[in-house]
Structure 1
C-alpha cells in the first residue's frame, strides 16, 4: 500500500479495531501513530479482562509481558515506566486502570500506564502498602468520575510497632491519617464500607476502626476457626470476603488450599460473624502478592468463568548445587469441585494482576 497509513478512513479503522479480539491487540493497534490513537476511541474496546502484568527480562527495560485470562495467551507491550519503577509498585485493583507508583522518590503518584495519566498523591516519603485502591465503596458507580479512594498502610519501626493508616480521596485531595498500635505481631488490614478491619494474626481476631475518626469500635470478630488465619480481605460486590490461602504438605505433595468466608453483619456492625462460603456465584477473585486481591463479576466482564479464584503460587526450584531459585505460576481454583488448573507455569516474582483502562 502506498501513501500515509495515518490517512486511512476512520470508518475502516473502527471496523478493523472491532475485529482485534483482545485488549492488548488493540493497544498495539492504537500505538501505530497518533491519528490511529485519536480515531480508535475507548468505546471500541473489547472486554477489559484482567492482565497479568510483568517485566520482560529478555527485552529492553520498558518492555512488558501481559497474560490474558480470556485467551490464555501472552503478548508484549511497551509502558512508560522502567523495570526498577515497576518493582516498587504495590497496587490493588479494581483501580480503574491505575497503578500506584511507590518508588523511593519524594512523590508518589497513580499512573495509568496506557494513557500516561498521572495523579500525584501528597503522601510523605516512605514504604506504603496498599490496602484499597478503587472507586468509592459506598457508591454504585465503578468509574473514575466518582473519584478514587486510596487507603494505604505506612510501616513505622519504633520501639513498639505502629501502623499509620492514610486515607486519600482524589476528588477532594484530602488525606486522613491515624495510627493503630500492634501488640501481637503482623496484622492484615482491609477496607469496607468506610471501616477498617484489622486481623491480628497471632490473636486470630479482627478489630474494626471507623475511618472518619480513627477510633476503634467496640467490635471484636473472632476468626472462624482455630487454624484459619485470613490472608486476604476483599470487597466483593457489596460484601467483605476473607480468604484463607493455606499451604500444607501430604507426603511429598505440597499444595495450597483455599477457603472463602463472608462477613455477616448488622447495619452499624454491632454484631458480626464470619460464614464459610461453598461458592461465590458469578464472582471471580484475583489474588495478588502482598496480601492484595480484588473481585470482578461475570455479569460485567463477559468471557471468563465465575465461581473461581485466580492466584499466584510460589515455586521453589533447586539446582545441582542445592541453591534455590524462586518464581510463581498462575493457577485457577474452581470452588465448585475444589480442583485447580495451571494457566501459566512461570511468571516473574514481581508479576501483578492489573485491569487495563483507556478511560
Structure 2
C-alpha cells in the first residue's frame, strides 16, 4: 500500500483499556509468535523475487503460501484458490478457512496482499504476510467461536484487483451478501523503518466511504488498540483507512480495521524494499498484537486444557541476546541457559549463503565482513533461532 495522504488522527495511546480485560491465555498464545519464524518467512518471501501480479514469481508465492499452511497442519480442503484476471494476465487469491465452534457461518477475515511491484516487497507486504502466517500457525488448533478466514490477496498493487474480485464475486454476488462477515482486519506495510525507534503502530479506522459502517469501525478499532496495549509493547495511534484490501469490503458496508506502520518507509514499490530496510522486531511485536486481537475478535477459548498442539512448541532460544546491533567487529552472544555447551552460530547473507560459522563461541569476530544486513543463526541439537545482524562501521 502506498499512502497519498495520511495523518495522525489521534494522539499516541496511553494504556487505557476500558472494558476489555487482560486474558492470560491470550497472552500465552501471543507469546508463541517468534522472531525466528517472522525472519524466516521474510527471508523466504524475499527470495521468491518480484511477485508482480500474473508473473511466475507471483504463482510461486501462492504455492509457497499453500505449502506453509499444509506444514502447519491445515487440510487441503480448507484452502480455496480464487482466480481472477487482470488484463491479459491471471492470478489467484488464497483463502484458508478455520471453522468456528459456535458461529461457523460468521467470519472474521484477516487479510493482506502478497503481490509486489519493482522489488521483493519485504515490507510491502511480506511483513503483513509473515504475520498472517504466524497467526494461522499458532491458532490452528485453538477453538474459536467465530470462523476465521486467512486471506492472501494478489493484485493489490494494480488497484486492489484481487480483493475487489473476492468481495464482488465471493463475499457478495451482485447485491446479495453471501458471507456473514463480522469484521475485516487488514495488515499492510507493517515492516517499520530501519534505524528508527519503531514503537507505535497505526490502527486504521473507517473515516469515510460508506458512512453507515463508520461507528462500528470506530468501536473495533478501539478494541484493536486495546488488544495491542494488552498483548504487545507497542503504542497505538489512529489513521484513516485507505487504499488497501479492506476497501472493497468497506464499500459493501462491512466493518473494517487494520494495522499500518507509524513511521512510513521510503522504500515500498522500489528495489530497496528489502530485509535490510525493515525492523523485524517491530514486525514481531505487531505479530503479538495481531494474535491477541484475532483471539479477541474470534472469541478464542480461554481454557488451558483446550490449548492447541502448536502452543507446546516453545523455543527457549528465543530469549537469546545477540549484541551489539549494529556491530563493528565483535558479536557477543548471551545464551538463555548458561549451561548450554553445544551450539553453533552461523552468519549468512539474506539469500542464505553461509559466510561464517563457529561452534560454542560467544564472542565472534566479524571484522572481515562488509557493512550490511545479515542473518545470525544460532542452533542447538533441536532448536534454532534467527536474528537480523547489522554490521556498520
**TM-score strictly above 0.5:** no
Normalised TM-score (structure 2) = 0.26
User: Whose strand fraction is larger, Structure 1's or Structure 2's?
Assistant: 1
User: Whose helix fraction is larger, Structure 1's or Structure 2's?
Assistant: 2
Normalised TM-score (structure 1) = 0.28
Greater relative contact order (CA < 8 Å, ≥ 6 in sequence): 2
